Amino acid sequence: MTQFLRFPDESAWLAAAAEAGFYSEPVRARNDDGTFTADDPSPPVNEAWTGTLAAYTHDRAIDVVGEIVDMAGFHVNFAGELPDGWDGFVVSPASPYRVFA
């Protein structure tokens, strides 16, 4: 069953997904001149980190919709067991913008 999620913004989504372990091991990103993009490498959602979202696995499917013009927040469709604490992001749109086929 698809769960429709609305996070306050993209940063909140990235933080929640990283905390749930849905990103591959982060790798520090570098500027064109080879310097790091930020001094503090600790937060995985910092712009100095990049990683790959493991969106489709044996136990979940994640469809990052993003911002929708006429709906506030950052939207994600999720199939699978929701991580702890994600219940507060579940919404029930009357007409979903995008659904899993």
Matching residue, tokens 């712009």:
47
pLDDT of residue 83: 96
**Please, what are the averages of pLDDT over each run of 10 residues along the chain (101 residues)?**
92 86 70 61 52 90 92 94 96 82 60
Residues 6+ apart with CB under 8 A from 62: 17, 22, 53, 55, 56, 76, 77, 78, 79
Cα separation, 40 vs 96, whole angstroms: 38
pLDDT of residue 39: 54
Residues 6+ apart with CB under 8 A from 39: none
Record the pTM. 0.73
